[in-house]
Structure formats: structure tokens, C-alpha cells
Amino acid sequence: MPKRTVVCIICVIMLFPAMTALGQEYVWLVDTNTANTVQYRFAPPDGYSRLPVDTGSFGYWLRGLPLQTEGAPVRLFDGREKQRQDVHAAVLKIDVGTHDLQQCADAVIRLRAEYLYADGVYDRISFNFTSGDTASFRDWIDGMRPTVNGNHVTWCQSASVDSSYRTFRAYLATVFMYAGSYSLNKQLKVVTDPHDIVSGDVLIEGGFPGHAVIVIDAAENRITGERVFLLAQSYMPAQDIHILKNPRDSVLSPWYNCDFGEVLVTPEWTFTRDQLKRF
């Protein structure tokens, strides 16, 4: 067998597991590109190294999220470009749907739920409606569906048992409709010290309107222990999930410093340090 053929076969064998894993972890993808991800596009600032994360963890999954090509615009759910194109450093390669549903907190819910679905832990996929009622994906799999009348929610079995991805997305669409920053904020736990920030943490202001952004990667200074992090958001109306620039630090951008004081300024929202939360 020619040497070049042997080398090509070895390359394919080495690449195939990574491609297969990516396809399994990011279920919505039709095609994959392992080189165009958060961790490959955005190197930490000089002197910083990415925080270690366990393989298969939420932080590991977020770090591997695929990105659209460099320079891609943020688009709204209806295909139009977002009016402001100066707030993002990159756009995630994940659909936004065709309805005005996947907004700020919904994007956080989507990422968390997609990770759990890919991991097969369906019982952990559960979010609360604004009314306080729990919407469990396990109940949804079993055919339970909600009837919502104002703040009153009743569940009854009206569908067959189904755990397919199509059913999962229908579940999420309903959650997006009846949940938001107010309800998600109540589900999350407070992170008391921003210096402990890790991937998967959420900055959230619960309200009407409120807002939420998610930490999708974090790094630490090898000498001082100071941490920096990347943030991603959707916004209103529903739009592509995108990585935010840092409007206060063009040198660090898009990385944010954990030592941000009492408030953290992002391009379209300002958060206070007590609004840092964790699943």
C-alpha cells in the first residue's frame, strides 16, 4: 500500500471519533467542523490558561460549541440582520427558530437543555414557568401536555410516549413561551464571589423585561489566579446566540475580568455582582 494512502487512512481514523462525538454532542447540527469552535477561535489573554474542566461536563460542552464563519452577522428569527452589529465577537452555530421565542433567558435554557439532552439525562431537564409551575421533560416524554389559562396551568396526558429530538424541541418551544428571566432567576443558585466564576454560570436579572447572559468559557492567570471569562447572549427580538465584545476593555475583548467591581457592563445590559448565578 502506498505510504500516502496509509497516512490518509490514519488521518481519517483519528478524525472520525472527534467528528462523531461532535455530531452526538451538538444534536441540532447537520454538518460539523471541529476546528471552528469557541476554544479554537478565542485564545485566552497572555498569561492566562483555560480553567480545567472534566470531559463531558457542561463547561467542556460549552467550550466546544461550534461557531459560524468569522464576520457572520447576528440575524433575527425572521432572517433579518439585527440592527446592532457592533456587540458581538462571534455567532454560535445554533438555530434560533422561526418564531420570536428564543430570547435572552431562553437561550440560556436552550444551551443547558441541549447539553443535558445530548448527555441522555432527561430527568434533569426541568424548568419552571413564570407561574411557578414545573415543566419537566420527563413528563413531556410520557405524553403530558400543559393547558395554560392566565397563571393557572393544568397538565394532562394527550400525546404518546416519545423522547425524540423533535419532541424535545417542541418541549423547549413551550418552555420559551411560558418561562423567562423571572422564572429562571428563581431556579438558579447565587455565586457569592465573582472570582469563583466558571463556565456555565449565568448573569441574570429577573424581571419584565429582564436579561440573562451565560459564561461559555473561563481562564485563569497562572500567577495571580485572576479569572477572565467569555459571555454569550440572545436578545429581543429572538436572535442568533452570540459571543459578546467587552465594551469596557478593548485589550481584553471579548474576555471579561472577574474583578469588575459592583457592576458588569455588557454591550446591551448592565449586571450587578449579586446577579451571578449557577445551575
Q: Give the model confidence (pLDDT) of 150-207 as tens digits.
A: 889 999 999 999 999 999 999 999 999 999 999 999 999 999 999 999 999 999 999 9
Exposure string of 196-217, with b = 16+ CB inside 10 Å and e = fewer, is: ebbbbbbbbbbeeebbbbbbbb
Instruction: Give the end of a domain, one of 148, 179, 210.
Output: 179
Looking at 179, 202, 225, the residue that finishes a domain is: 179
Of 149-158, 173-182, 211-220, 223-232, which range is least confident?
149-158
Structural domain range at position 15? 1-30
Is residue 238 classed exposed, middle or buried when 0-12, 13-18 and 19+ CB atoms within 10 A define those classes? buried
Domain total of the chain: 2
Flag whether 237 is in a domain. no
Whole-number average pLDDT of the chain:
91
Cβ contact 62:217 at 8 Å: yes
Query: If we measure between CA atoms, which residue out of 158, 210, 139, 155 comes closest to residue 179?
Result: 210
Q: Is residue 60 part of a domain?
A: no
Lookup: cell for 83: 440592527
Mapping DSSP onto H, E and C, the string for 109-159 reads HHHHHHHHHHHCCHHHCEEECCCCCEEEHHHHHCCEEEEEECCEEEEEECC
Pairing verdict, β 242-244 and 126-128:
unpaired
What pTM, to 2 d.p., does this model score? 0.90
Q: Is residue 13 part of a domain?
A: yes
